[in-house]
């Protein structure tokens, strides 16, 4: 993965996403997804943490590891078979070894995950597309849409054309979202789990102050999209 030269601004919000090279799958099983989530947590630190030396060899539970001060605030995330989405803000403007805080964070995560994936599946070469993509989020309606977009992304796994054709089976869709644990959806429903340490809700409460606010936004968006296609 080449180093990105974009300078991100402290305190500003960004939609970050990337996918597998040639659209290949980057998560083949739950162990892969779990490793990526653990890297989202560990790499978000001013410390340089080596997964094998600092975690595996010392037999430490990742979620119990005190990684110190984070360099970005993560407000939402989702893992899909061949791509991922993040909604985050940069906490510092300091230049780190691989660039600004966001660039450094993503470089650490994607490099570490690529090494893990290539070793596990006995492959070589680039796992991800050359550079991660970013969109600056500057308006409230952008932010609200992004939260819905990220958390509704998994719906395409059961209905690939739901955006174009709408949702005809709302209960089935909501039940699926309630069972899909590979996003921060569970954390905004206040379900207790260790992965909640990935996100920092304090910096993202302008949109959703409570669980009900979050659910209403998601469910209303589903209803709007469905109604438009009836």
Give the whole-number percent of the chain exceeding pLDDT 70: 84
Q: What is the pLDDT of residue 174?
A: 84
- Hey, which residues does 135 pair with through a beta bridge? 15
Task: Work out the percent of the chain whose per-residue pLDDT is above 90.
Answer: 53
Computed over every residue of the chain, the mean pLDDT equals: 85
Unique residue bearing structure tokens 């099983």: 29
Q: What is the pLDDT of residue 221?
A: 67
Report the candidate in 41, 14, 36, 30 with the shortest Cα–Cα distance to residue 128.
36
> Domains of the chain: which residue ranges?
13-136, 139-228
Interacting residues of 157 by C-beta distance below 8 A, sequence separation 6+ = 80, 81, 176, 180
The architecture that CATH gives domain 13-136 is 2-Layer Sandwich (3.30)
Q: Which two tokens stand for residue 74?
A: 């993560």
- In this structure, the strands spanning 72-80 and 83-90 are antiparallel
Enumerate residue ranges in the chain where pLDDT < 70: 1-6, 93-99, 202-211, 219, 221-230
Detail the DSSP E strand segments found in the chain: 13-19, 72-80, 83-90, 133-137
**Nearest alpha-carbon partner for 84 in 12, 146, 140, 26:** 26
Query: Rounded to 5 degrees, what are φ and ψ at 131?
Result: -130, 145
Give the pLDDT of residue 157. 94
């Amino acid at each position: 993965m080449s180093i990105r030269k974009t300078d991100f601004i402290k305190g500003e919000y960004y939609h970050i996403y990337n996918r597998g090279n040639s659209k290949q799958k980057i998560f083949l099983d739950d162990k892969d997804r779990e490793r990526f989530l653990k890297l989202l947590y560990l790499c978000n630190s001013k410390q340089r943490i080596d997964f094998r030396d600092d975690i595996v060899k010392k037999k430490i539970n990742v979620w119990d590891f005190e990684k110190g001060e984070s360099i970005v605030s993560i407000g939402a995330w989702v893992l899909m078979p061949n791509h991922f989405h993040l909604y985050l803000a940069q906490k510092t403007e300091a230049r780190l070894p691989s660039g600004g805080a966001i660039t450094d964070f993503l470089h650490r995560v994607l490099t570490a995950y690529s090494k893990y994936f290539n070793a596990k599946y006995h492959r070589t070469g680039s796992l991800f597309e050359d550079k991660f993509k970013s969109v600056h989020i500057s308006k409230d309606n952008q932010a609200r849409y992004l939260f819905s977009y990220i958390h509704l992304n998994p719906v395409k796994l059961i209905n690939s054309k739901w955006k174009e054709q709408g949702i005809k089976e709302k209960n089935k869709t909501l039940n699926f979202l309630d069972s899909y644990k590979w996003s921060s959806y569970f954390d905004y429903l206040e379900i207790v789990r260790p992965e909640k340490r990935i996100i920092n809700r304090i910096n993202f409460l302008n949109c959703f102050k409570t669980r009900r606010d979050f659910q209403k936004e998601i469910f209303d968006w589903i209803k709007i999209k469905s109604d438009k296609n009836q």
